[in-house]
Structure 1
Amino acid sequence: MSAPAPPLVMSDTDREVLAKVARSTSAAHREVIRARVLLAAADGAGNRTIAAEHGISPMTVRAWRSAFATEGLKHWGKVKKGRGRKPSIPSETIAEIVRMTTKVTPKGETHWSTRSLAKELGISHSTVHRVWSELGLKPHRVDTFKVSNDPAFDEKVIDVVGLYLNPPEQAVVLAMDEKSSVQALDRSQASLPMKPGRGATMTHDYKRHGTTTLFAALDVLTGKVIGQCLPKHRHEEFLKFLKTIDREVPDDLDVHLILDNYATHKHAKVKEWTRKHPRFHFHFTPTSASWLNQVERWFRDLTEKNLRRGMFRSVPELIDSIEEYMEANNQDPKPYVWTATAESILAKVARARASLNEQANQN
Structure 2
Amino acid sequence: MSVDEMTGIQAKERTMPNLPMKPGRPEKVEFEYIRHGTQSLISSFNVATGRIDQANVGKTRTEADFVSHIDALVVQFPNAPKWHLVMDCLNTHQSESLVRLVAALEPEPIELGQKGKSGILKSMDTRAAFLSNPDHRLVIHFTPKHCSWLNQIEIWLSILARKLLRRASFTSEDDLRTQILDFIEYFNCTMAKPFKWTYSGKPLIS
C-alpha distance in 2 between matches for 1:182 and 1:280: 30
Which position in structure 1 is the counterpart of 2:194? 335
C-alpha distance in 1 between matches for 2:21 and 2:200: 43
Give 1:334 shift: 1.2
Higher relative contact order by CA 8 Å / sep ≥ 6: 1 or 2? Answer: 2
Which position in structure 2 is the counterpart of 1:161? none
Q: How many residues matched?
A: 174
Structure 2 residue identity aligned to 1:280:
L
Structure 1 residues 206, 253: CA separation in 2 closer, same or farther (over 3 Å shift)?
Answer: farther
C-alpha distance in 1 between matches for 2:177 and 2:157: 15
Which position in structure 1 is the counterpart of 2:155? 297
Aligned with 2:58 (options 230, 234, 250): 230
Structure 1 residues 234, 210: CA separation in 2 closer, same or farther (over 3 Å shift)?
Answer: same
Give 1:250 shift: 4.1
Which position in structure 2 is the counterpart of 1:18? none
1:25-104 aligned at under 5 Å gives the runs none
Deviant stretches of 4+, over 6 Å: none
Aligned with 1:221 (options 48, 70, 74): 48
C-alpha distance in 2 between matches for 1:262 and 1:249: 25
**Between the two proteins, what is the percent identity of the paired residues?**
32
C-alpha distance in 1 between matches for 2:204 and 2:24: 44
Structure 1 residue identity aligned to 2:200:
T
Structure 1 residues 339, 196: CA separation in 2 closer, same or farther (over 3 Å shift)?
Answer: closer
Structure 1 residues 190, 329: CA separation in 2 closer, same or farther (over 3 Å shift)?
Answer: closer
Aligned with 2:166 (options 288, 300, 308): 308
Deviation track 1:112-160 (CA, whole Å, cap 9, x = no partner) reads: xxxxxxxxxxxxxxxxxxxxxxxxxxxxxxxxxxxxxxxxxxxxxxxxx
Which position in structure 1 is the counterpart of 2:67? 239
Q: Name the structure where strand makes up a greater proportion of residues.
A: 2
Query: What SS is found at the alignment partner of 1:214?
Result: strand
Deviation track 1:59-86 (CA, whole Å, cap 9, x = no partner) reads: xxxxxxxxxxxxxxxxxxxxxxxxxxxx
Q: Name the structure where helix makes up a greater proportion of residues.
A: 1
Query: What SS is found at the alignment partner of 2:180?
Result: helix
C-alpha distance in 1 between matches for 2:11 and 2:37: 6
Which position in structure 1 is the counterpart of 2:76? 248
C-alpha distance in 1 between matches for 2:105 and 2:10: 34
C-alpha distance in 1 between matches for 2:58 and 2:82: 25
C-alpha distance in 2 between matches for 1:308 and 1:238: 25
Which position in structure 2 is the counterpart of 1:157? none
Q: Compare 191-200 and 266-275 and name the one that shifted more.
A: 191-200
Q: CA RMSD in A?
A: 1.4
C-alpha distance in 1 between matches for 2:153 and 2:189: 18
1:1-363 aligned at under 5 Å gives the runs 174-225=1-52, 226-278=54-106, 279-332=137-190, 333-342=192-201, 344=202, 347-349=203-205, 351=206
Give 1:184 shift: 0.7
TM-score (structure 2 length as normaliser): 0.80
Query: What SS is found at the alignment partner of 1:327?
Result: helix
Give 1:213 shift: 0.8
C-alpha distance in 2 between matches for 1:241 and 1:181: 18
C-alpha distance in 2 between matches for 1:206 and 1:176: 31
C-alpha distance in 2 between matches for 1:318 and 1:312: 6
Give 1:316 shift: 1.1
Deviation track 1:153-185 (CA, whole Å, cap 9, x = no partner) reads: xxxxxxxxxxxxxxxxxxxxx010001111111
Q: Structure 2 unaligned runs (5+)?
A: 107-136
Give 1:249 shift: 2.4
TM-score (structure 1 length as normaliser): 0.46
